[in-house]
C-alpha cells in the first residue's frame, strides 16, 4: 500500500499560526479580570485593535429592548458619552442585522459609511473590518468595528482571529451582564446562580456520536456552585478528547477559572502536541493566573476509535474506573501528577491502555464518591465500583442512571454537598 504524503505548511505559515494562537490564548486570559462592563469593553477593544494592528475601533452592544446598537466613546473633553444607532443603519447596524462580516479596503466608497464622525474629529477612516460578536449559541450580541490597519488592509487571517476572539469576548460580556444583574438583588444567591449559568454554558450542548461507543453524561450542580467541568472534543480521524475537571472553591471565582481552562484547552488542543505537554501548558497557565489556594483536579484522555486505545493524563483527579468485561478486573487510571496550579513547570506522565468489547469506563468528580448521608458517611469509591460491576452489561445510559439512583438512595433526604458530574463510556 502506497504511503500517503502529507503536505507540510511552510515554516513561516506555521510560525504565524502559532503566534496568532498564542495571542488568542493570551487575550482570552485578560477577559476574566473584571465584571465591570465598561472596563471589559475597553479591554476587549484594546486586545482586538492590538492583535489586528489597527489604529482604533468601537465595540457596539445590542440593546434588545430598543433594537439599537450602543457604545460609549471618548468625548472631546475626555469624558465618555453614549452613542446609539438603530439596527440596520450604517455599516455596524447592517452587520448587526445580517450577521455578515464587512471588510472594506476603502470605507469612504461604501454608501453605508457615515462620514460625519470623520468630519467633526478630523480623523480619516480608510480600512474597516466590521464583524458580529456572537455567543456560543450563534446569537449576535454586539458588533466589532475595527478601523485602519497600520499596514495594508485587513485580511483573511485577521477575520479568522477576530471570529475566534469573538466567542471569548461574548462569553465575558454575558458573564459581566449576569454579574451586574446579580447586584440588583440578594448578592450571594445571585452570585451562585450566575456561577451555575457560566458553568452550564461551558458544558457540551449534546453528546457527540462516536463510532463503536455509547456515551452518557450528566452534570448536576448543587446549591453551592463549584467548578465541575467536562468536555468532549473531536480531533478528526476518529480521535476524540475527553476532559473532566473540578476547581477548588465555590461561586463565580471557581466558574471563571473553569471558563479560562475551557478557553485555553480549546485553543491548545489544536496544536499537535502530546497530552503530557498539553497538561504542562495548562498547569502553568493556572499556576500563573490564580491564587495559591485555588487549583484544578484534571483528567484528560484521547480515544482512538480505530485502535480502541486511550491515552490519558490524570492531574490529581479522582481515578476513573475501567471495567474489563473479559477479565472482570477494574483498573484505576492514575498516571499523571499533581492538580493544575499547585506548582509551576510540572511534568506529567501519560499512559496508554486498550479497550475490549463491552468494556466500561466511568469518569466522575468527588460529588459522586464523597456524597454524604445523614450520618456524614461518604458514598465511597468501593460502592461506586460495586454498582459498576452490577450494571456493566447494561447500556451506558442505564449504567449512568443506576449510579445516580444508587447515590440518591444512599444520601436519602440529605441535600447534595457538592457538584456531581459523571460520564460513562462503553465500547459496543
pLDDT tens sequence for the chain (428 residues): 555 554 554 545 555 656 667 777 777 777 877 888 888 888 899 889 999 999 999 999 999 999 999 987 654 444 567 889 899 999 999 999 999 999 999 998 998 988 777 777 678 899 999 999 998 788 999 999 999 999 999 999 999 899 988 888 998 998 888 877 766 656 666 666 666 676 667 778 888 899 999 999 998 877 555 678 899 999 989 999 999 999 887 667 777 788 888 888 988 887 878 999 999 999 999 998 887 778 899 999 999 999 999 999 999 999 999 999 989 999 999 989 999 999 988 999 999 999 999 999 999 999 999 999 999 999 999 999 999 999 999 999 999 999 999 999 999 988 887 888 999 999 99
Long-range contacts of 124-127 (CB under 8 A, 24+ apart): 124/148, 127/152, 127/153, 127/154
CATH, residue 220: 3.60.40.10
Q: Is residue 385 part of a domain?
A: yes
95 vs 46, 64, 167, CA distance in Å? 21, 15, 16
Instruction: Look at the chain and report how many structural domains it folds into.
Output: 2
Closest by alpha carbon to 44, among 55, 182, 257, 33? 33
Residue 11 is inside which H or E element, if any?
Answer: helix 11-30
Helix runs in 86-227, H state only: 90-98, 116-121, 156-182, 187-202
Measure CA 39 to chain center: 22
For the whole model, what pTM was predicted?
0.59
Q: Within this chain, do residues 178 and 235 fall inside the same structural domain, yes or no?
A: no
169 and 210 in a single domain? The answer is no
Residue 339, domain extent: 202-427
Q: Are strands 128-134 and 102-104 parallel, antiparallel or unpaired?
A: antiparallel
What's the rounded Cα separation, in Å, for the pair 73 and 181? Answer: 23
DSSP character string of 36-67 = -HHHHHHHHHHHHHHHTTEEEEEEEEEETTTT
Which residues touch 110 (CB under 8 Å, ≥6 apart)?
91, 102, 104
Q: Are residues 236 and 345 in the same domain?
A: yes
Answer whether residue 220 is part of any domain: yes
- Do 253 and 335 lie in one domain? The reply is yes
Same structural domain, 141 and 55:
yes
Amino acid at each position: 500500500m502506497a504511503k500517503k504524503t502529507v503536505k507540510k505548511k511552510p515554516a513561516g505559515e506555521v510560525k504565524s499560526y502559532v503566534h496568532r494562537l498564542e495571542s488568542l490564548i493570551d487575550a482570552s486570559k485578560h477577559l476574566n479580570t473584571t465584571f465591570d462592563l465598561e472596563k471589559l469593553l475597553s479591554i476587549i477593544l484594546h486586545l482586538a485593535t492590538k492583535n489586528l494592528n489597527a489604529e482604533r475601533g468601537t465595540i457596539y452592544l445590542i440593546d434588545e429592548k430598543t433594537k439599537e446598537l450602543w457604545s460609549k466613546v471618548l468625548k472631546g473633553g475626555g469624558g465618555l458619552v453614549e452613542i446609539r444607532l438603530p439596527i440596520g443603519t450604517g455599516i455596524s447596524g447592517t452587520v448587526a442585522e445580517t450577521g455578515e462580516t464587512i471588510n472594506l479596503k476603502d470605507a469612504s466608497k461604501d454608501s453605508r459609511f457615515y462620514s460625519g464622525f470623520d468630519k467633526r474629529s478630523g480623523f480619516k477612516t480608510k480600512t474597516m473590518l466590521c464583524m458580529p460578536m456572537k455567543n456560543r449559541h450563534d446569537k449576535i450580541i454586539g458588533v466589532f468595528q475595527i478601523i485602519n490597519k497600520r499596514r495594508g488592509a485587513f485580511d483573511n487571517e485577521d477575520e479568522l482571529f477576530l471570529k475566534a476572539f469573538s466567542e471569548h469576548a461574548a462569553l465575558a460580556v454575558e458573564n459581566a451582564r449576569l454579574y451586574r444583574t446579580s447586584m440588583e438583588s440578594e448578592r450571594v444567591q445571585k452570585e451562585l446562580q450566575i456561577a451555575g449559568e457560566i458553568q452550564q454554558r461551558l458544558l457540551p450542548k449534546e453528546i457527540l456520536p462516536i463510532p463503536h461507543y455509547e456515551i452518557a453524561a450528566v452534570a448536576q450542580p448543587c446549591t453551592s456552585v463549584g467548578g465541575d467541568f467536562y468536555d468532549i472534543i473531536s480531533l478528526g480521524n476518529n480521535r476524540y478528547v475527553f476532559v473532566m475537571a473540578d476547581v477548588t472553591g465555590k461561586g463565580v471565582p471557581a466558574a471563571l477559572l473553569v471558563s479560562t481552562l475551557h478557553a485555553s484547552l480549546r485553543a491548545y488542543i489544536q496544536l499537535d502536541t502530546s497530552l503530557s505537554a498539553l497538561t504542562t501548558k495548562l498547569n502553568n497557565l493556572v499556576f500563573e493566573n490564580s491564587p495559591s489556594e485555588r487549583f484544578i483536579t484534571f483528567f484528560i484522555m484521547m480515544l482512538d476509535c480505530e485502535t480502541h486505545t486511550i491515552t490519558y493524563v490524570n492531574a490529581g483527579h479522582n481515578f476513573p474506573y475501567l471495567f474489563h468485561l473479559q477479565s472482570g478486573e477494574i483498573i484505576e487510571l492514575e498516571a499523571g501528577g499533581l492538580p493544575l496550579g499547585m506548582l509551576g513547570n510540572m511534568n506529567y506522565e501519560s499512559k496508554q491502555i486498550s479497550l475490549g468489547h463491552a468494556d466500561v469506563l466511568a469518569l466522575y468528580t468527588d460529588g459522586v464518591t464523597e456524597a454524604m448521608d445523614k450520618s456524614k458517611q461518604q458514598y465511597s469509591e468501593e460502592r461506586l465500583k460495586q454498582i459498576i460491576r452490577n450494571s456493566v452489561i447494561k447500556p451506558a445510559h442505564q449504567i449512568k442512571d443506576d449510579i445516580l439512583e444508587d447515590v440518591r438512595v444512599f444520601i436519602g433526604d440529605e441535600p447534595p454537598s457538592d457538584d456531581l458530574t459523571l460520564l460513562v463510556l462503553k465500547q459496543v
